[in-house]
């Protein structure tokens, strides 16, 4: 017997139907905001990632040399590909550009709960505007999708921070601080013990007392305290930007899902403004469920015109853990509208009826195995058919079919002239 690869999964129909329902729910919400779907390749030149993130990223990639001698990698994330697409079409694209897609990505990582080597993400991005309404729309579409999945304020929260507040606070200190290292330390705050956290800040250039006062001001609920702490234009305008985004989020109707949480820093270096992470409020999904933010410098970094950008990547693996914890994961089940059961020499009429029901948009199965009455009924039960249409020779002699409700087991004969009707999805109740 052949095995699949570690960290790669196959989804049988029951599980796949739940995953498909979740993806459809998310994408329906996204489409309603006017985001347009794009399609992207599974393979890119490895350079697309190393130029941005350094050679060490290769360790996490499925990278190899193709038969033409190109150094290529399975795409570990969408952003570099999308950046390449924006750069390629540049000015020809109407702004703002609003794109989304759902697809797998690949990283050679330790497999653990909610983390696989092949994992699925829905990415949503807006390019070409730095206005707070665009940050807020990303929050709104993500929160809206969560609500559509059946989640509520008591299940999840978006913890919101701002790269320029963190950077500006650090810049305002007397010491000469390595900003990226200090921000990475902040990102680790929840994952390491306090001493280790302060050590990371000290390693980044802060004195111990700066580290403590910096950490204290991060915990404030009053954004004015941040301005007073730093006394710089940079922090003042970052605070103003964060407030504008939250005001816009209120107008979008999603302010209630957002909590200011300055220690939310996002691991990736390319963020430039508002950043946020979605957390399970019950704390059972211990890692961030997903996150996003503003990255205004990336397109220029890939050789394009300066193009502000904001986006979010919804990871389906952690999201499914959250949905399961909250009890809103869709039923993993096979359902069927009709099974048309043919007994005796009635195949032609049975397939006609099945075809007519399909034309009405219903899911209909018929016998493909040459089975008798009882075995067909068992199969219909196995595919959870709601209604069985029995087409027997005696029925046809009576110019009728028998409609059977699979839940109650009750059945009734219906004239062929009345079935199937011109519309609707008639069940036993309509004929009893």
CB closer to a second copy, 135 vs 155: 135
Per CB under 8 A, contacts with a second copy among 130-149 are 131, 133-134, 137, 144
Q: What are the CB-based long-range contacts (under 8 Å, 24+) for 11-19?
A: 13/334, 14/332, 14/333, 14/334, 15/332, 17/330, 17/332, 17/333, 17/334, 18/329, 18/330, 18/331, 18/332, 19/120, 19/316, 19/320
**DSSP helix/strand/coil, 233:** helix
CB closer to a second copy, 253 vs 267: 253
* Nearest-angstrom CA–CA distance, 329 and 331: 7
Q: How far is the CB of 51 from a second copy (least distance, A)?
A: 8
Q: How far is the CB of 403 from a second copy (least distance, A)?
A: 18
Q: Report the DSSP beta bridge partners of residue 385.
A: 336
For position 127 contacting a second copy by CB under 8 A, the verdict is no
Q: Which two tokens stand for residue 418?
A: 């009345």
Binder among 22, 26, 74, 169 for a second copy (CB under 8 A): 74
Q: Is 208 exposed, middle or buried (0-12, 13-18, 19+ CB in 10 A)?
A: exposed
For position 333 contacting a second copy by CB under 8 A, the verdict is no
CB closer to a second copy, 205 vs 301: 301
Contact 69, 177 (CB under 8 A): no
Per CB under 8 A, contacts with a second copy among 339-368 are 347-348, 351-352, 355, 358, 361-368
Per CB under 8 A, contacts with a second copy among 92-121 are 94-96, 98-99, 104, 106, 108, 118
DSSP state of 3: P
Site track 236-265 with a second copy (rule: CB under 8 A), x = hit: ------------x--xxx------------
CB closer to a second copy, 88 vs 196: 88
Binder among 334, 411, 412, 427 for a second copy (CB under 8 A): 334
CB closer to a second copy, 225 vs 332: 332
Q: Which two tokens stand for residue 366?
A: 């018929």
CB closer to a second copy, 210 vs 300: 300
Q: How many residues bind a second copy (CB under 8 A)?
A: 94
Binder among 54, 55, 89, 224 for a second copy (CB under 8 A): 89
Site track 361-400 with a second copy (rule: CB under 8 A), x = hit: xxxxxxxxxx--------x--xx-----------------
**DSSP helix/strand/coil, 159:** strand
* Nearest-angstrom CA–CA distance, 287 and 280: 8
Per CB under 8 A, contacts with a second copy among 171-200 are none
Site track 261-300 with a second copy (rule: CB under 8 A), x = hit: ----------------------------------------
CB closer to a second copy, 9 vs 191: 9
Q: How far is the CB of 367 from a second copy (least distance, A)?
A: 7
**From 85-93, 155-163, 218-226, 424-432, span contacting a second copy (CB under 8 A):** 85-93
CB closer to a second copy, 264 vs 376: 376
**From 14-22, 159-167, 223-231, 261-269, span contacting a second copy (CB under 8 A):** 14-22
Give Cα 19 to chain centroid, integer Å: 11
**DSSP helix/strand/coil, 167:** helix
* Nearest-angstrom CA–CA distance, 432 and 428: 6
Binder among 50, 114, 115, 128 for a second copy (CB under 8 A): 128
Tell me which residue of 356, 358, 409, 414 sits closest to 387, measured CA to CA: 409
Dihedral Cα 197, 199, 204, 209, nearest 10 deg: 90
**DSSP helix/strand/coil, 279:** strand
**From 43-51, 161-169, 217-225, 231-239, span contacting a second copy (CB under 8 A):** 43-51
Q: What angle do CA 323, 62, 316 make, to 5 degrees?
A: 10
Looking up tokens 């403004």 gives: 273
Contact 132, 247 (CB under 8 A): yes
């Amino acid at each position: 017997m052949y095995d699949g690869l570690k960290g790669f999964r196959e989804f049988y129909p029951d599980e796949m139907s739940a995953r498909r329902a979740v993806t459809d729910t998310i994408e329906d919400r996204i489409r309603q905001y006017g985001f347009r779907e794009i399609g992207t390749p599974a393979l890119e030149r490895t350079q697309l990632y190393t130029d941005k993130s350094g050679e060490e990223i290769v360790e996490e990639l499925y990278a190899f040399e193709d038969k033409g001698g190109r150094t290529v990698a399975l795409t570990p994330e969408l952003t570099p590909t999308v950046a390449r697409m924006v750069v390629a079409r540049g000015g020809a694209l109407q702004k703002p550009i609003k794109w989304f897609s759902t697809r797998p990505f690949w990283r050679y990582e330790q497999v653990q709960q909610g983390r696989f080597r092949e994992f699925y993400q829905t990415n949503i991005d807006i390019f070409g505007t730095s206005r707070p309404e665009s940050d807020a729309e990303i929050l709104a579409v993500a929160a809206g999708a969560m609500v559509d999945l059946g989640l509520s304020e008591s299940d999840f929260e978006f913890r919101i921070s701002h790269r320029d507040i963190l950077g500006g606070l650090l810049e305002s200190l007397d010491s000469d601080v390595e900003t990226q290292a200090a921000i990475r330390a902040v990102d680790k705050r929840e994952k390491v013990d306090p001493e280790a956290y302060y050590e990371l800040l000290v390693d980044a250039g802060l004195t111990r007392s700066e580290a403590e006062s910096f950490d204290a001001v991060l915990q404030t609920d009053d954004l004015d305290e941040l301005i007073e702490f730093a006394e710089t234009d940079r922090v003042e305008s970052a605070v103003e930007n964060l407030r504008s985004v939250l005001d816009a989020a209120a107008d979008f109707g999603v302010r209630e899902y957002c909590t200011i949480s300055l220690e939310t820093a996002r691991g990736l270096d390319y963020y430039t403004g508002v950043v946020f992470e979605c957390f399970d409020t019950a704390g059972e999904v211990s890692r961030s469920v997903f996150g996003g933010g503003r990255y205004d410098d990336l397109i220029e970094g890939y050789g394009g015109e300066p193009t502000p950008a904001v986006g979010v990547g919804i990871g389906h693996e952690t999201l499914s853990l959250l949905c399961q914890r909250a009890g809103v994961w869709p039923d993993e089940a096979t359902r069927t509208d009709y099974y048309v059961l043919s007994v005796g020499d009635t195949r032609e009429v049975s397939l006609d009826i099945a075809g007519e029901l399909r034309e009405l948009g219903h899911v209909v199965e018929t016998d493909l195995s040459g089975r008798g009455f009882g075995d067909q009924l068992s199969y219909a039960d196995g595919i959870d058919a709601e209604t069985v249409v029995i087409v027997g020779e005696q029925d046809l002699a009576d110019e009728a079919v028998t409609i059977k409700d699979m839940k109650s087991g009750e059945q009734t004969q219906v004239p062929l002239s009345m079935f199937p009707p011109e519309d609707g999805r008639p069940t036993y109740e309509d004929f009893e």
